[in-house]
């Protein structure tokens, strides 16, 4: 019914436009024959214009969201309707012979009619939008411009283009019963001006403005608001959201914002170029970092993405998510393989089958206190699992091997860190040219003659590298979900020490930088990611209380756990970082051990495991920088 009424209105406006065009052209005294022509032309003009408007999609447009795009549709559809009418009239005139002129009028009449109908139809749409915005949303009842009594009162941070866009969206009703009360900005030239009816106020007056206007919601529209501004908004007690101009959406505030981790829009063109058409295998592909690596790699259209993990549940959840996003591409590209990096036979089967070009080794035991209690498991998984994976990868002709390491490998004080340092040493040793004996005893080489020869001939020149970074926000076992759970339960928040500090990075950010490093690797490098400024965990807990709690939650200190340090480092004393062509990715080269030395270390660890001797003491012997806490 609503669309039918718009068609009726448009038919009336089209009729008025033709009449006015004729009257204006003949200076208010149109000749009688042309009046008759007008009457004959009106049905054709209405039909052609209404059909053109319908084909433009204007009748399906939500009128209260009318914009420049709506105006352009009106211009071109009415031009089409007028043009068709003129052409049909001209053809009748040219083919009439000696008969009378049926309904052709002077060309300027059609031009005037087109300009007038543009104005009338556009006026009808935008007048509707204006009335909806300023009457329905801002003028209901006695509230006047302050909105209804229940309306959310929104303060906009930033009076630029993004801020104006949000204000217009709020006024058009896109965010329900809400009214923009003010916009804050630091630009002195904007202070005192208005965006429509919304005043622009100094950003320094944040607290005063919130109190004065009874603000319930704050939307931050500036690109990089910074930690201080976000915290100041949170401390007002209003609900704080952030407008992402790149995506055109408003999202909830998260802990990454409180840590000052601004959105990073990295240039991934080099990564796209490298991974496109490659066969990529990710071990630990169901974990926090592994799954995000898989999400991003799939967007680069690899030939195959092999997700290898011991947990079938994590992998299946990831597969379901990828299917929802990428559809049929997943069925042809993504392959799930359940297996452990400790199982060499499984590694041979999977790599021998898919022949990956790139292996990203993210599988590892990462929980520090648990590995202190189960050091043997850390050695079996993080050390021997890495050695098996890199050895099989080399023998299967992998071009590039990437180890995901951790800042806990630097001067480690715990078993997990020491095991990851050993993993770095192993990968570094494999960056040298392989010997022909490395793959001769492989299950594939033993069981398939021709295939074995092929693999043995492809085991040279694998580029090995490691990427080292700190904690990632929201990963399995990180403090952020633990703190959030404790806050929602009413507290207390348990913290080991008031002075403990850590580096933090978002999961997508870490995965993107890992792939950036992988795309430029030559072999033998250890890459370190720029983690920004370290964060005091106590400050993190307090910010989370402001974000998720009611302010009554307490912090309880439990003391440092076994193997835990007050602070982490990204480089050892003898390591120097060098900037790369990729922003926020740094490279350092370490003196690689020989494979014979690595074999001796592994033999020593094997004897310790078999004899059930003190594995930590053995770790201290083979990792000189390891200091037991």
> Is there a cis peptide before residue 79, judged by omega within 30 degrees of 0?
no
User: Residue range 23-31: average pLDDT?
Assistant: 87
pLDDT at 139 over 50: no
User: Residue range 79-97: average pLDDT?
Assistant: 87
pLDDT band at 502 (very low <50, low <70, confident <90, very high): confident
Q: Over the stretch 302-322, which tens digit does the pLDDT of each residue have?
A: 999 999 999 999 999 999 999
Cβ atoms of 110 and 41 closer than 8 Å: no
pLDDT band at 66 (very low <50, low <70, confident <90, very high): low
d(CA 340, CA 563): 26
**Beta-sheet strand order (sheet of 304-309):** 334-338, 304-309, 279-283, 358-361, 400-406, 463-469, 525-529, 585-589, 578-579
The DSSP letter of residue 215 is: -
Could you tell me which of 160, 141, 116 has the C-alpha nearest to residue 13?
116
pLDDT at 138 over 70: no
Could you tell me which of 16, 82, 2, 87 has the C-alpha nearest to residue 50?
82
Q: Which CATH code fits 269-470+505-532+569-622?
A: 3.40.50.720
pLDDT for the residue numbered 446: 41
Quote the Cα angle for 528-530-532, to 5°.
Answer: 145
Q: Over the stretch 550-588, which tens digit does the pLDDT of each residue have?
A: 767 889 999 988 888 888 777 665 666 777 777 778 888
Cβ atoms of 429 and 598 closer than 8 Å: yes
Query: 3-state secondary structure string, 410-477?
Result: CCCCCHHHHHHHHHHHHHHHCCCCCCHHHCCCCHHHHHCHHHHHHHHCCCCCCEEEEEEECEEECCCC
Topology match between the domains 142-253 and 269-470+505-532+569-622: yes
Architecture of domain 142-253: 3-Layer(aba) Sandwich (3.40)
d(CA 383, CA 605): 10
pLDDT at 432 over 60: no
d(CA 384, CA 361): 13
pLDDT at 285 over 70: yes
Q: What is the mean pLDDT of the chain?
A: 85
For the chain, domain boundaries: 2-137, 142-253, 269-470+505-532+569-622
User: Residue range 524-548: average pLDDT?
Assistant: 83
């Amino acid at each position: 019914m609503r669309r039918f009424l718009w068609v009726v209105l448009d038919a009336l406006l089209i009729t008025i436009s033709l009449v006015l065009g004729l009257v204006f052209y003949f200076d208010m005294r149109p000749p009688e024959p042309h009046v008759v022509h007008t009457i004959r032309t009106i049905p054709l003009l209405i039909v052609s214009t209404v059909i053109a408007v319908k084909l433009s999609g204007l009748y399906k447009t939500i009128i209260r969201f009318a914009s420049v795009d709506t105006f352009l549709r009106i211009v071109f559809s009415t031009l089409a309707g007028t043009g068709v009418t003129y052409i049909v009239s001209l053809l009748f005139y040219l083919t009439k012979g000696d008969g009378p002129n049926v309904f052709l009028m002077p060309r300027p009449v059609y031009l005037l009619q087109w300009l007038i109908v543009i104005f009338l139809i556009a006026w009808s749409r935008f007048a509707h939008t204006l009335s909806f915005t300023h009457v329905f949303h801002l003028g209901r009842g006695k509230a006047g411009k302050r909105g209804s009594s229940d309306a959310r009162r929104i303060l906009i941070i930033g009076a630029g283009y993004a801020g104006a866009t949000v204000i217009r969206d709020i006024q058009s009703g896109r965010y329900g019963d809400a009214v923009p009360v003010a916009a804050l900005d630091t630009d002195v030239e904007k202070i005192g001006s208005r965006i429509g009816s919304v005043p622009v106020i100094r950003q320094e007056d944040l607290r005063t403005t919130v109190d004065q206007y009874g603000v319930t919601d704050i939307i931050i529209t500036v690109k990089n608001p910074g930690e201080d501004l976000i915290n100041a908004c949170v401390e007002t007690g209003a609900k704080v959201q952030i407008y992402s101009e790149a995506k055109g959406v408003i999202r909830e505030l998260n802990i990454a914002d409180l840590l000052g981790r601004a959105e990073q829009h990295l240039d991934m063109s080099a990564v796209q170029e490298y991974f496109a058409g490659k066969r990529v295998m990710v071990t630990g592909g169901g974990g926090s970092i592994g799954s995000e690596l898989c999400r991003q790699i799939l967007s680069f259209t690899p030939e195959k993405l092999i997700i290898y993990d011991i947990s079938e549940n994590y992998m299946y959840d990831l597969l379901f998510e990828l299917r929802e996003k990428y559809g049929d591409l997943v069925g042809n590209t993504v392959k799930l393989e359940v297996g452990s990096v400790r199982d060499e036979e499984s590694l041979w089967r999977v790599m021998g089958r898919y022949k990956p070009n790139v292996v990203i080794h993210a599988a590892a035991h990462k929980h520090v206190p648990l590995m202190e209690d189960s050091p043997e498991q850390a050695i079996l998984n993080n050390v021997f699992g890495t050695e098996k994976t890199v050895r099989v990868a080399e023998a299967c002709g992998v071009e590039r091997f990437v180890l995901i390491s951790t800042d806990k490998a630097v001067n480690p004080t715990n078993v997990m860190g020491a095991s990851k340092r050993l993993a770095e040493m192993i990968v570094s040793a494999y960056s040298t040219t392989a010997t022909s004996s490395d793959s001769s005893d492989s299950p594939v080489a033993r069981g398939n003659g021709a295939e074995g020869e092929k693999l043995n001939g492809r085991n040279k020149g694998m580029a090995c590298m490691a990427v080292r970074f700190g904690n990632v926000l929201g990963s399995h076992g990180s403090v952020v979900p633990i703190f959030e759970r404790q806050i929602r339960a009413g507290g207390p928040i348990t913290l080991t020490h008031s002075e403990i500090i850590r580096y933090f990075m978002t999961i997508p950010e870490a995965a993107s930088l890992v792939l950036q490093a992988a795309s430029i690797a030559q072999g033998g490098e250890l890459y370190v990611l720029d983690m920004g400024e370290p964060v005091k965990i106590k400050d993190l807990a307090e910010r989370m209380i402001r974000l998720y709690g009611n302010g009554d939650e307490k912090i309880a200190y439990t003391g440092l756990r076994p193997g835990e340090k007050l602070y982490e480092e990204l480089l050892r004393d003898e390591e120097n970082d060098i900037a790369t062509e990729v922003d926020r990715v740094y490279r350092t080269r370490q003196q690689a051990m020989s494979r014979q030395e690595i074999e001796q270390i592994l033999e020593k660890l094997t004897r310790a495991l078999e004899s059930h001797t003190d594995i930590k003491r053995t770790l201290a012997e083979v990792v000189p920088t390891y200091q037991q806490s």
